[in-house]
Structure 1
């Protein structure tokens, strides 16, 4: 699908369970980006990459924390994705009121981009738009999202209205229409905010919940869910 809005979204998921709820959210967001918002999207899962923990160069000397990172791992490629994106949307499970370890490693390693304030004069995260989606069988979604919001805002990212969606239930996310609508609006509001920042386009309203939009979002979600369900059945 052609990018009609000149917006580049980076979707970062964090789940080792390719048959789980986070993978459904990931595929759903990708389809929303392409079919509804008509923007470019790159989807990565941190479990697919070798991301070593940060070694804290910045604590020794703020000038040492700069690109290229001294750690030789897959972050070299992931830094390119982050720098070239307009918006970053996180889709994460809830691990004891927090994010999984590999995602924590990824975020800690973004310090090098934020620290460009001191090495280059401006954070490489400044002005990027952020959105947040958390999924789990138990409580903790708000704690996860609050933490991610605080970090991204401290990096210099912009948090738009309705930038969060969460599902806390043992029931499948596909059965939570409000969650599906919230996800769609995370993508929508991230796109609108990027356009507002880049082009100064006025936003008449952010969150959509009209019947036509809700029906469309639900239909897309069920299409994605069935495709994943069929794929898992064939591979079992």
Structure 2
């Protein structure tokens, strides 16, 4: 067997070589001003030109986080300048964890509508996923001592200022470079703002039980749901202290990882339910992928009845799909049973009566 080679410092140098995405001033301003197409802006040309110049200055000097403060106590480098946006999200996540851990508090459930469709934008009609979530909510809200939050991802398509920016895959450079919560956004110099994940992370953290409802879109989850899934990578092994990597210094992160990284599971132990529906194909595979993803983050299946994949109006016209849903009382009852199963699992876990075999075993390989 060949001897293991000792790594040098050069071995950890980040690889580079892709073309630069930087714009010149003219193209930047053209793109920046293209958002002001409404005639209401026509009288504001001089003002917009000044704003465009200010935006160019922020872009040219890469001011990602223009507002910072010292990290302070509790961080490896208390003198490091941390983004105030990240600090606010970090504090919100910490408070959410306290709510999750409060044994005297209510049992908390997060229901996620993964469909991008609603009557408030181009489709002109709400989604079946939304109606499924409402069925589950009606079941859970009838239980005692319960708080239910609904995360309606269709608002990415219908609400002003709602965005989930794509994951930049920092984890694939090195696990400690992926911060918990994510520090990639907002990036003011690139106009990457209004990132909804800053509000979504605390919803996941405080929840005891999570239900995801999604349609099948081309054999996959919906695009809003996939955006959220990718941005939750930091919840599974992410670094809770950005000062250890001095922001986004890739080589620092690689050196930390090679010394040994413990891959903290920030959502460990929450119970989950998954409901996937489609009209022609893919439901079983999408349901399995979602369940496998959640289990890989050390979330716990609530039970067999809490995982559903079903076809609604199989190969029937889209125009009558809601009629098909309304007629399928058996499926609606399965949704109710999934919600009841999730509730029962959360109660059992809070009382220490739910057994998760193997939960105390150490994994020989984290990644």
Where does residue 212 of structure 1 map in the other structure? none
Report the more deviating stretch, 122-131 or 112-121. 112-121
Aligned-residue offset at 1:201: 4.1
Pairs aligned (count): 200
Cα distance in structure 1, aligned partners of 2:113 and 2:174? 32
Root-mean-square deviation over aligned CA pairs: 2.3
Report the more deviating stretch, 20-29 or 73-82. 20-29
Aligned-residue offset at 1:122: 3.1
**Does the CA contact (< 8 Å) of 1:37 and 1:191 recur in 2?**
no
Question: 1:22 and 1:75, CA in 2 relative to 1: closer, same or farther beyond 3 A?
Answer: same
In the alignment, which of 112, 115, 119 is matched to residue 237 of structure 2?
Answer: 115
Superposed, 1:12-91 pairs within 5 Å as 12-18=112-118, 19-36=126-143, 39-48=146-155, 49-69=162-182, 70-72=184-186, 73-91=195-213
Cα distance in structure 2, aligned partners of 1:22 and 1:108? 21
Cα distance in structure 2, aligned partners of 1:21 and 1:135? 9
**Does the CA contact (< 8 Å) of 1:5 and 1:195 recur in 2?**
no
Cα distance in structure 1, aligned partners of 2:263 and 2:334? 36
Structure showing greater radius of gyration is 2
Cα distance in structure 2, aligned partners of 1:196 and 1:169? 32
Cα distance in structure 1, aligned partners of 2:276 and 2:295? 18
Where does residue 55 of structure 2 map in the other structure? none
In the alignment, which of 303, 306, 310 is matched to residue 167 of structure 1?
Answer: 310
Question: 1:192 and 1:5, CA in 2 relative to 1: closer, same or farther beyond 3 A?
Answer: farther
In the alignment, which of 219, 230, 239 is matched to residue 97 of structure 1?
Answer: 219
Superposed, 1:180-191 pairs within 5 Å as 180-191=332-343
Cα distance in structure 2, aligned partners of 1:53 and 1:35? 37
Aligned-residue offset at 1:124: 1.2
Where does residue 284 of structure 2 map in the other structure? 142
Per-residue CA deviations over 1:147-196 (Å, capped at 9, x if unaligned) read 00000000110012222123312252222222112111211111111122
Cα distance in structure 2, aligned partners of 1:26 and 1:190? 13
**Does the CA contact (< 8 Å) of 1:9 and 1:39 recur in 2?**
yes
**Does the CA contact (< 8 Å) of 1:87 and 1:128 recur in 2?**
yes
Cα distance in structure 1, aligned partners of 2:170 and 2:280? 36
Question: 1:202 and 1:94, CA in 2 relative to 1: closer, same or farther beyond 3 A?
Answer: closer
Cα distance in structure 1, aligned partners of 2:200 and 2:262? 20
SS in structure 1 at match of 2:272: strand
User: Structure 2: where are the runs of 5+ without partners?
Assistant: 1-103, 119-125, 156-161, 187-194, 240-256, 314-320, 356-367
Cα distance in structure 2, aligned partners of 1:134 and 1:121? 30
Question: 1:5 and 1:167, CA in 2 relative to 1: closer, same or farther beyond 3 A?
Answer: farther
SS in structure 1 at match of 2:301: coil
**Does the CA contact (< 8 Å) of 2:116 and 2:224 recur in 1?**
no
| 1:154 correspondence with 2:299 | no
Aligned-residue offset at 1:202: 6.9
Aligned-residue offset at 1:12: 0.9
Cα distance in structure 2, aligned partners of 1:63 and 1:169? 43
User: Structure 1: where are the runs of 5+ without partners?
Assistant: 204-236
Cα distance in structure 2, aligned partners of 1:184 and 1:5? 24
Higher relative contact order (CA 8 A, sep 6+): 1
Q: Which has the higher helix share?
A: 1
